[in-house]
Every structure is written in structure tokens, then in C-alpha cells.
Structure 1
Amino acid sequence: MSLFIASLNSGSNGNCYYVGNEQEAILVDAGISCRETERRMLRLGLSMQTVKAIFVSHEHTDHISGIPVLAKKYRLPVYITDSTLYHGGLTLQKEQVFGFKAYEPVQIGNLAIQAFPKKHDAAEPHSFIVNGNNVNIGIFTDIGAACDHLLLHFKHCHAAFLEANYDEEMLEKGSYPRHLKNRIRGGQGHLSNKQALEVFTRNKPAYMSHLFLSHLSRDNNSPQLVQQLFNEHAGDTQIIIASRFEETAVYQVKPASDAASIPLPQKADAPVNFKPVYTQLRLW
């Protein structure tokens, strides 16, 4: 028994992540067009007919722009918080909108999806962990700091999409204005390569088989640089770069052969405090 995962696109030009078993799947975010989502799914040998829901992490356009058409065409339920729906300005049919709460799993067929809060420049941002077939998949992007909620969930993952947005030196020496640099690295923006590596090396479970480095900046990072950085510490974990230009392959994630059933994590002790800033944090 396994789960199958892929990144359809990852970056400030659009984000969409696929997690599924052999019968059903979900998308986390849909920030590329419906047509492009269909094309990439087709090239991977995946069917939109298996997709049963879209889960929305936050309201920035690179995470939601494809949702209205995709949800309408395939009659998909969209799991989204009230605040994210309001600030995203999405036009959806009322019967397609479903709420969720942190640490209250949503069951989609044999998949259980649990949300938890994260630090990001948005109204009510959440990350997700998907459980099925005794496998946990984490989707951890657009994170300003590695809070207790993230670390708790990361320790339970067989595979994860983890943000590695920028190289600190490239950002500092780059052309972005000072205020934007400070927003990116100020605790409500994005994780640096160094921060992501610390999350990985200090919290990786022995059974983590795949790590997708995600949401790389076009201007402030290099796929080759971050691949080399993580490969040096990867051990038995395969490191994959989630591209901003194309889909990844589909990867099969199997449960650990020597591990008992691994449930969804229980709630972290850290409080759920959102500090929203409602402007789009557009990072190239």
C-alpha cells in the first residue's frame, strides 16, 4: 500500500501539489490554470477524475488562481477557511465551499487531511499533512518561520514538500528593495535554504523517503545550489526539486517496513495566532 505524489508546479508563478492513492486524490492549492493542470496531469498519466477535492493553504494568487474554473468544471469541493475565501475574492458555488479547522482531520475517501497553522503573510494560512495507507505526506510551503506546529508534523512524514525559497546571500546581494527583502526573511514570509535544511536535518524521521524542495525563488535561489546543499545531508532520503516551470515525476511513497501504524500528529502546544497582512507577497 502506498501514496502517490507529484508537484504540478511550485513557485510564485503558481503552486499545485497532488497527493493520492489508487482510487482518489486531492490537490493542495491550484495556482495554475485549469488547462495547464489538465495538461500536466495527462503527461503524468494521472486522471482528474480521481481528484475529489482541493484544499487551499492561503489566498495569494499563486495558490488560488486556477480554482474557480477547475472546481466548476469537475464539480470539486473546495476546502477553505472563511477568512481565506473572503480575502482571496474567489467566486465559487456555495455548495462547493467547505470549511476546515486546524487539527480536525477531513476525510476524503481513504485519505485524511489535517491542517495546521503556519507563519505567513496572509489572512489565515495553513499547511497540511495527508494520511493514507499508513503513509503521511506533508505540504509545507510559504512559511516565514519553523514553528512548533511545523516541526511536530515534519517528524511524522514519510515524504514532504518543504519550502526552500531563497539563499540568504543571494537575497542580500540581489536587486530587491530593502523593504521586500525584510518581508521575505522577516518571519512572515518564506524559509531560506539554511532554515529548511535545519528543519530537515534536525527533524527528519528515519523513514522519510522523499523530500521535495519547493517554492524556490527565481531571483534569489538556484536549483543546483540547493540540491547540492541537501544532497550532502540526505542519507537515504531522495531529494527532488519542485520546479516552477514543469511538473515533477510521480513518486510512490511506501510505509516504513519496520514501523507500526503512524497516525496524524496531535495538536502542538504552541498557540494558534494569526498575524495577517492582507497584501499579496509576490516573490519572483
Structure 2
Amino acid sequence: MGNSREAVLVDAGISCRETEKRMKRLGLSMTKVKALFISHEHSDHIRGVAVLAKKYQLPVYITPDTLRHGQLDILPSQVHTFTAAEAVQIGDIRVTAFPKLHDAADPYSFVVACGGVNIGVFTDIGAPCNGLTHHFTQCHAAFLEANYDEEMLDKGRYPYFLKNRIRGGKGHLSNRQALEVFLAHRPAFMTHLFLSHLSKDNNNPELVQSLFDQHAGNTRIVVASRYEETAVYHIQLPSAAPVARPTVTVLELFN
């Protein structure tokens, strides 16, 4: 997410090489990225962090508990912490974190703001908490987890303990839960919703697209692929000049 001059990456779940390839295909460059923000220590969110940080000399914003449990090989000089509700300024970009419900050491969601536009990154969420619903109402665009279809999970091949972990309140949001968040808390000015972190085994992109399209209204629904980058989207206020438009895309691969 960024503007015409700078950008930030939230999590890095694929390798440095794959990140570079996907950005190049989009006409983007890693040299524009000024910081990494890490939500939690699960491998599908940190796999590329150490190499990206080293190669591009990037500051990594991460909590001490996440750093310790993730066992990331990052130079101490590149490690920066953040605190809930306290914005971090990266050029004209402002990133604010808030706690989320997930089975990780110290998990956070983020809101990225630039030019008056707020973009939420809400994935790996076990249940919709007050923080999620509060920040969702302020977003012009958002990445929202729609991890699993409840019937597919229930009838699928996962062992019982894993099914319970996923749906147990600190795992992931189902399609139904995500839709409930969207319907109850979508602001009138939300232009884009990026449905993210779909399970390979327990969900279907066409199913999710169809479910949300029925209720989309003026919001464009984009289902993010786990296999390739999404297009670049420009998010702006109705009165914003084109040069000020924040851009968003999805590069990461999530499990």
C-alpha cells in the first residue's frame, strides 16, 4: 500500500524473489517500499521478511513477542516496535495497529492511512472484536478475511482438532462471519473490499464472490487469489487529486 512516492508492506508471506517478481509484473518496485509491518509470527506471514529487510535495508515494525516467537534473523538496528493505537508515520503514510483475536503470541491488525484515505488490513481473525468493527466503519477500502465456508470445513478432510482450531474463536473468519461484518459495519464511502486469506481446501473463490456480490451495493468486491498478485487499485476520496491516490495490491500467499 502506498502513494506515488512511498509504500509499506504488511506481512511478507512469500519469498523475496517471488515478491519481486509479482511487483515487477505490476510495474512496481521494491525500492519504493520504506517499511515492513508484521501482524504476527505464523510462517505464512513472515517467510520473506528477513531477506527483504536485509536486501533493501528496511525497518521492520514488529512487537517484541512476535519477533521472539518468529525467530527472525533481523539486525537489531532494523527492528522497530509499535504500540496499539499509536500511529507510525512513514513519509505521508500513517500506520495504526490494534489487537486482534488469533492464536499467535501478540497479533495485530492495521489501518494504513494516506491523503485522508483509510485502508484496513483485517486477516487472521478468530472473531469480529470491537476493534475490528470500529475500524472497519472508518475504511474507504479493506482487506477482510473470508477464510472458509462452514459446510466445506465441516465435511472436509481436516482432522477434528484442526477444524476446531480454525472455527474456535482465535482461528479464522468464515465467509458468513465476514459477510456479517460487511453488512453491519460497512461505511457508505467504502469503495473496495478485498476478500483475503481464502483457504485452499475449505473455500471456493467463486462461492465467495457470488455471496458478496449479492450485497455489494456501491462497493467493488475483489477476491484476492492465493496464487498470484491482484491488480493495483487506486483508492481515493471523491475530491482527491489523482496524484494523491493511495494504491493497494495483494502480493502475499496465505495458507
What interval of TM-score do these two structures reach, taking the shorter chain for normalisation?
over 0.9
Q: Please show how residues 152-231 of structure 1 align to structure 2 within 5 Å.
A: 152-231=134-213
Q: CA deviation at 1:231?
A: 0.2
The structure with the greater share of residues assigned to helix is 2
Q: CA deviation at 1:237?
A: 0.5
2:31 counterpart letter in structure 1: Q
Percent sequence identity is 67
1:162-204 Cα deviation digits (max 9, x unpaired): 0000000000011111111011000000000000000001100
Q: Please show how residues 30-179 of structure 1 align to structure 2 within 5 Å.
A: 30-179=12-161
2:175 counterpart letter in structure 1: N
Q: What is the TM-score with the length of structure 2 in the denominator? A: 0.93
Q: Secondary structure at the match of 1:218?
A: coil
1:106-144 Cα deviation digits (max 9, x unpaired): 000000000000000100000000110110000000000
Q: For the residues of structure 1 that align with 2:233 and 2:227, how far apart are their CA atoms?
A: 18
Q: CA deviation at 1:150?
A: 0.2
Look up the match of 2:248: none
1:131 counterpart letter in structure 2: A
1:65 counterpart letter in structure 2: R
Q: Secondary structure at the match of 2:85?
A: coil
Q: Does 1:241 align with 2:223?
A: yes
Q: For the residues of structure 1 that align with 2:171 and 2:186, how far apart are their CA atoms?
A: 23
Figure out how many residues of one structure are paired with residues of the other and give that number: 242
Look up the match of 1:269: none
1:206-258 Cα deviation digits (max 9, x unpaired): 01000000000011000000000000000010110111100000000011449
Q: Secondary structure at the match of 2:20?
A: helix
Structure 1: tracts of 5 or more residues without a match: 1-18, 259-282
8 Å CA contact retained: 1:165, 1:192: yes
What is the RMSD of the two structures over their aligned residues, measured on CA atoms? 1.1
1:101 counterpart letter in structure 2: T
1:16-61 Cα deviation digits (max 9, x unpaired): xxx0011100000001000000000010011111100000000000
Q: For the residues of structure 2 that align with 1:91 and 1:37, how far apart are their CA atoms?
A: 19
Q: What is the TM-score with the length of structure 1 in the denominator? A: 0.84
Q: For the residues of structure 2 that align with 1:69 and 1:191, how far apart are their CA atoms?
A: 30
Greater RCO (Cα-Cα under 8 Å, separation 6 or more): 1
Q: For the residues of structure 2 that align with 1:242 and 1:224, how far apart are their CA atoms?
A: 11
Q: For the residues of structure 2 that align with 1:228 and 1:209, how far apart are their CA atoms?
A: 18
